[in-house]
């Protein structure tokens, strides 16, 4: 009996030790998953807050092309410029510009503000052009935070002289890398959007905006479709 009792105590201790290790591992895994979800949620929140601030930024696209974003809160206005076009939303108008055969034509329409954020219209139009937009990255980050199977790795870098937190996300056979600056501005993105490869990197950022950022391009033809005022 003493020998059997000793054997039982040893086996019991071994089982308890095994359960303790397994339990701690599960807790650690859950804590790590929660920490990663908090991280990507924080980055998404940073970007969202930046959509209500004044700043301008230039980005380099794959192949050497460039885009720029500008927005102010007083007055409330924003613009998105890409190689073949531009859209500007102010409290007076929505101006869409397109370049064809070396000629730029801008169409001016009545103002439309969505929830007080002109950037909503700007980014919707930019997405139609296949460009990376902050809201599109917010959606990807949010989806990653909700996916318990997502693999998320964090790193830090400096872009255009600004510190940025980066996440490399792999989920459901898809992968993307996104960096967000301390100011909440999208610093870089590499991945797939709407089934197409997309890439951009911040080349300049400032919390001031030149007034000309909301003007039509020099030499552009203008079609004003706003109702005439008496």
Average pLDDT, the chain: 83
Span 24-45, average pLDDT: 65
In a domain, 2, yes or no: no
At 113, is the pLDDT very low, low, confident or very high (cuts 50, 70, 90)? low
In a domain, 4, yes or no: no
In a domain, 123, yes or no: yes
Residue 23 has pLDDT above 80, yes or no: no
CA distance linking residue 212 with residue 54, whole number of Å: 15
Q: Please give the model's pTM, rounded to 2 decimal places.
A: 0.80
In a domain, 183, yes or no: yes
In a domain, 12, yes or no: no
The CATH number of the domain holding residue 206 is 2.50.20.10
Span 170-197, average pLDDT: 92
In a domain, 27, yes or no: no
Residue with tokens 């964090």: 154
In a domain, 119, yes or no: yes
In a domain, 14, yes or no: no
Host domain of residue 71: 32-224
Strands 103-109 and 221-224 come out as parallel
pLDDT tens readout for residues 78-102:
999 998 999 999 888 999 999 988 8
At 162, is the pLDDT very low, low, confident or very high (cuts 50, 70, 90)? very high
Please tell me the predicted confidence (pLDDT) of residue 222: 95
At 165, is the pLDDT very low, low, confident or very high (cuts 50, 70, 90)? very high
**How many domains would you assign to the chain?**
1
């Amino acid at each position: 009996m003493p020998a059997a009792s000793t054997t039982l105590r040893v086996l019991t201790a071994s089982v308890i030790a095994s359960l303790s290790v397994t339990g701690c591992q599960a807790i650690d895994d859950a804590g790590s998953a929660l920490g990663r979800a908090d991280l990507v949620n924080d980055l998404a929140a940073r970007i969202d807050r930046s959509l209500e601030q004044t700043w301008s930024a230039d980005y380099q696209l794959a192949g050497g092309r460039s885009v720029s974003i500008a927005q102010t809160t007083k007055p409330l206005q924003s613009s998105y410029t890409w190689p073949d076009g531009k859209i500007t939303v102010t409290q007076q108008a929505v101006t869409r510009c397109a370049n064809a055969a070396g000629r730029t034509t801008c169409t001016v329409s009545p103002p439309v503000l969505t929830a007080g954020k002109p950037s909503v219209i700007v980014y919707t139009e930019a997405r139609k052009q296949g460009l990376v937009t902050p809201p599109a990255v917010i959606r990807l980050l949010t989806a990653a935070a909700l996916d318990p199977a997502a693999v998320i790795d964090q790193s830090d870098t400096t872009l255009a002289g600004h510190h940025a937190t980066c996440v490399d996300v792999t989920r459901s056979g898809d992968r993307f890398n996104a960096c967000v600056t301390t100011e909440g501005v999208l610093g870089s993105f590499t991945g797939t959007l709407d089934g197409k490869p997309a890439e951009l990197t911040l080349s300049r950022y400032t919390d001031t905006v030149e007034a000309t950022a909301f003007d039509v391009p020099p030499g552009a033809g203008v079609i004003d479709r706003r109702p005439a005022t008496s």
